[in-house]
Structure formats: structure tokens, C-alpha cells
Amino acid sequence: MDHSDAAQFQRPLHVQLLESPELDAASAQAITQIYARTHSLCESAFLEGCSDQRSEFHTTLHALLSTHSAHPHSWGAHNHLSRVAFEIRKALWERYLGYELGRLATLDVDPVPEDPESLAEYLTEINAYHEASHHPVFAYLCDAAPLADVKAFFFQESSVDARFDDLIALAQIGLDGPVKDEYADNFADEMGHGDPDRVHANLFRNTSAYVLDHGHMEYSIQTEPCTEALACGNMQLGMALDRRHVWRLAGYLAALELNAPFRCQQLVSACERHGMKRNRLGYLTEHIDADVGHAAGFFEEIIKPLAASDRRAPLEISQGFLLRLQTSKDYCDAILGSFLKQ
């Protein structure tokens, strides 16, 4: 390999991809280099001390997963059905999921019960003891964080659940009965039951603008997602787009809904401590009460029926639930660590 080839191989994978308007029409040399970089990332991204490669891995996977919601005539739309894009996405996604499932295998937890009622109790008990459900970053934000950190955390959240409506829409595809009904009710809430002002994506944009503009600040904050925030987003969207993981996605979403009210309440308290008005924090206040009902609905109308439908479902539901807790803890650890280093 000459120096120019070596330099090309080392360039970030997402950069190489975005430079090809039509990946399937790229030169054989370019595609060979892209596949080689993909293989290299799969080998190195999750090794100790390889944070740059892990960032490149998740940035690339995020770009590829996002082709499913791309606007017409964009790079994502042109490459949505690309054979090259599919093969790279599949390699990255399966490497990432395999890594996270491997981490679950090391956990010291009781065997997963097959009975639907027992499964629901099992998951809520695990949640109560898992650090992700009461992570110290929320106490820090609520009680001590400067305004810059409160803003920074809020914008990290945008990569995790700002487009929850799309995720719920994908989750219900192919399902029937009470499971689909519950997903539909959840989606209706996301869409504001026909009121554009109550659509959660709009609420998020409005709340984001208010939080960012609040107070006089002469320095910038990080509004781009960190690696761990991208990883959370990649996990949930990867499962939503892969039909093999319908049960895991249900468990993942149940854990997300279960913990959202506490997190949103802590963020509201943090914002109010810095003089923000509660009635301008609609995205957060909406989820304090609504997600209590959503969590209950998930367990009664989604988790229990799915668990009863197939003897393989309880284990995969539990895996999805724990995947949310595991990746959420990583994300919260990273954010708190960055705040405390300043």
C-alpha cells in the first residue's frame, strides 16, 4: 500500500461514505478501501483505549441508520437501498449488538422468568437497583450544575429520544391486538392527538430553543451528541429496523418509558433553579406524567402479551430492557465525567 492509499484507509469511514454521492457507483478501489476501514473499525472500536475509533464507528452507524428517515434527494435518500451501505451497516450493527449482548452475559442477575406476571416484576425490580434508573448525573444537574452543563445535557438528549414518534411507528409494524393498540395510543400521544402544538417533536424543538436562549452566555456549549449518546440512538434505531429484535425493542422501550418521568422531573428542577419558567419546558413537563401511564401500558399491554406469545420472548424482552439500562448508564457516566472534568 503506497502513502496515498494508507492515508485514504485512515480517513474516517463516515467521511469516505459521504464523499460518494452514489455508493454503488463508486470505484472498485474506493469500495475496497471502505470495506477495509469497516473491518478495521469492527476489530478495534470496542478495545480499551480506542475512543477515537469508537466515535468513528458510532458516527458512521448513525449516518447509515439515518438513511431510513432521509429527505428526498439527500445523500441518505440516494443510498437508502445501496448494496454497499447495507453491507457496511449490517457489519457495524451486528458488531455493536454482539458486543453489548456479550456485556449482558457477564451480569450477575437471576434467571429470566417465563411467566408474564413474574417477568414484569423481575424487570421492575432490576430497574430499581440499576444505577441507570437513579444515575448521579441527575442529582448533579438538579442541585449543582451550572447553566452550561444543564444546557449541554439537554442537547445530548436530542440524539436519544427527540424523534420517539418515528421509533414507536417502527416498533408497531407487523404486530396485532393489544400490543399494536398500545403502540398506537403511545404514537397518538407523540403526535399530540391532532394538535400541532402538542406534537412531541415540536415540543422538543420549542423547549430546546428556549433552553439554549436562556441567560447570557459568552461561551458555546456542546450541542453535538457524544459517542455514548450516539450509541444509545444507534441501539434503539438498529433494533427498530431489524425484524429479529421486535421483542428486544419492546423491552428497551419499556425501560426508557419507566425511567423518563424521574429524569424529566430532575431536568425541570435544574432548569427552574436557573430561572427558567416551567410553562416553557413543555417537552419535559409533558413526559413527567404521560410516561408514567406509558410505562404501565407497556408492561400490561405489550410486555406481558408478547411474553405470553412465545417461550423465547421473555429472554429477549429482558435483554432489550437491560440493553437500555446498560447503554444509558454508559451515556450518563460519560456526560457526568465530562462535567466534572471542567
Encode pLDDT of 126-185 as tens digits: 999 999 999 999 999 999 999 999 998 887 887 666 578 899 999 999 999 999 999 999
Average pLDDT, the chain: 91
Rounded Cα distance between 133 and 258, Å, is: 9
Q: Which residue in 122, 67, 105 sits closest to 89, CA to CA? A: 67
**CATH number of 116-341, picked from 3.90.1300.10, 2.60.220.10, 1.20.910.10, 1.10.3720.10:** 1.20.910.10
Rounded Cα distance between 325 and 39, Å, is: 28
pLDDT band at 5 (very low <50, low <70, confident <90, very high): very low
Domain extents in the chain: 3-104, 116-341
pLDDT of residue 163: 78
pLDDT higher for 4 or 111? Answer: 111
In the predicted model, is pLDDT for residue 69 greater than 70?
A: yes
In the predicted model, is pLDDT for residue 82 greater than 80?
A: yes
Taking residues 290-311, what's their average pLDDT?
88
Rounded Cα distance between 332 and 278, Å, is: 24
- Span 44-56, pLDDT tens digits: 999 999 999 999 9
Rounded Cα distance between 94 and 77, Å, is: 23
In the predicted model, is pLDDT for residue 219 greater than 90?
A: no
In the predicted model, is pLDDT for residue 277 greater than 60?
A: yes
pLDDT of residue 266: 95
Please report, rounded to a whole number, the percentage of residues in the chain having pLDDT higher than 90.
76
Taking residues 108-114, what's their average pLDDT?
93
pLDDT band at 217 (very low <50, low <70, confident <90, very high): low
Would you call 215 helix, strand, or coil by DSSP? Answer: coil
| DSSP states along 118-187 | HHHHHHHHHHHHSGGGG-HHHHHHHHT--HHHHHHHHHHTHHHHTTHHHHHHHHTTT--HHHHHHHHHHH
Query: What's the predicted TM-score (pTM) here?
Result: 0.93
pLDDT higher for 307 or 157? Answer: 307
In the predicted model, is pLDDT for residue 291 greater than 80?
A: no
